[in-house]
């Protein structure tokens, strides 16, 4: 699987996130992306931390008939 750059990514819905690192699930050894929301959420708080399987983080999805990255690297 491709290496993942640390930095700022934009989710296809518009919000920005900072990729902190890639870790592994201690049971399955699946690679997980650790990333921080760069916005304040009324539900999850300011700069909430998230994890997502690397495979899903890096996948392309179909939006309005076009294939686009779920998270696009910005800087």
pLDDT band at 5 (very low <50, low <70, confident <90, very high): very high
* Eight-class DSSP state of 56: H
CA 68, distance to chain mean position in Å, is 14
Above 90 in pLDDT, residue 46?
yes
The H or E element that residue 55 is part of is helix 54-57
14 lies in which domain range? 7-59
The answer to whether position 51 is within a domain reads yes
pTM for this structure? 0.89
Please tell me the total count of domains within the chain. Answer: 1
The answer to whether position 27 is within a domain reads yes
User: Taking residues 36-55, what's their average pLDDT?
Assistant: 96
From residue 74, how far is each of 21, 26, 71 by CA, in Å? 16, 30, 9
The answer to whether position 38 is within a domain reads yes
The answer to whether position 23 is within a domain reads yes
User: Sign of dihedral through CA atoms 63, 42, 52, 36?
Assistant: positive
The first and second tokens of residue 29, run together, are 């050894």
The answer to whether position 55 is within a domain reads yes
């Amino acid at each position: 699987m491709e290496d993942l750059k640390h930095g700022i990514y934009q989710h296809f819905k518009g919000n920005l996130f900072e990729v902190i690192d890639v870790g592994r699930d201690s049971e399955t050894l699946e690679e997980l992306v650790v990333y921080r929301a760069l916005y304040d959420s009324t539900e999850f708080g300011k700069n909430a931390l998230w994890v997502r399987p690397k495979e899903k983080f890096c996948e392309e999805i179909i939006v309005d008939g076009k294939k686009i990255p779920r998270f696009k690297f910005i800087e």
